[in-house]
Amino acid sequence: MSLATITRKGREFVLVPVEDYERLNGESLAPLPPVDADGTSNAIDFARASIARRLVMDRRAAGLSQQQLAKLANVRQETISRIESGKQTATVRVIDKLDKAIRRAGGQAGKRKAS
């Protein structure tokens, strides 16, 4: 697939159809914490936002809603929502459950596509 690009002020941008942009931007990602003058940010806040962003991207790639992931991972949907918004730090146990559920769902999606 060739990408349509445009250059403005020395920076190259990829052009996407509005419907793709809206789909990708529909569920916003947790914001990264602000960076201070030294270029550093709070490590815990950064880790929380990074986990949140990765969870959203992995869940979307597996084609799952928060509710579907909650059922597969046996965790509450509210927990997933708080983790994805960066409001809650996930425990290792919960991250492991979510990861395993996403991997199972991703494998199932791959099998469906191959059929």
Residue 12 lies in a domain: no
- Work out how many domains the chain is built from and give that number: 1
For residue 115, the 8-state DSSP code is -
Residue 55 lies in a domain: yes
How far, in Å, CA of 16 to CA of 37, rounded? Answer: 34
Residue 59 lies in a domain: yes
Residue with tokens 């596509």: 113
Return the CATH number at 51.
1.10.260.40
pLDDT band at 112 (very low <50, low <70, confident <90, very high): very low
3-state helix, strand, coil split of the chain in percent (to 5) is 55, 10, 35
Q: What is the pLDDT of residues 34-91, one digit of tens each?
A: 999 999 999 999 999 999 999 999 999 999 999 999 999 999 999 999 999 999 999 9
Domain that holds residue 95: 32-114
Strands 11-15, 4-8: parallel, antiparallel or unpaired by DSSP? antiparallel
pTM: 0.70
Residue 109 lies in a domain: yes
